Amino acid sequence: MRHDREDTTAQEAALRAARDEAASVLAELAAEARALAKAYGGRSARIPDGSALAGLVDAARRAEEAVDMAAHDLATARGEDA
C-alpha cells in the first residue's frame, strides 16, 4: 500500500454491512407489502394493521441513509470527495 493513501478497509466493510442491512430491510418491506396486498385483496372483513409496514418504511429510509453515509465516508477516505 502506498504511504500517501489511507487504508479504506474499515470504510469498505462499513459500506458492505450497510448495503447488506438495507437489502435485508427491503426484503422484509417487500414481504410485508405482499402480505398486506393479499389481505386487502381478500374478502375478509378484518382490516390488517399496517403499522408494521410503516415501521419498515422508516427502517428502509434509515438504511438508505446509512448506505449513503458509508459511501461518502469511503469516497472521502479514498480522496474522491472534495
Give tens-digit pLDDT for 62-76.
Answer: 999 999 999 999 999
The domain total for the chain is: 1
Report yes or no on 1 lying in a domain: no
Most confident option among 17-21, 45-49, 76-80: 17-21
Tell me which residue range forms the domain holding 25: 9-77
Residue 49, pLDDT score: 75
| C-beta separation of 76 from 10 below 8 A | no
Report yes or no on 2 lying in a domain: no
What's the CA gap between 11 and 14, in Å, rounded?
Answer: 5
Report yes or no on 4 lying in a domain: no
Report yes or no on 59 lying in a domain: yes
Report yes or no on 28 lying in a domain: yes
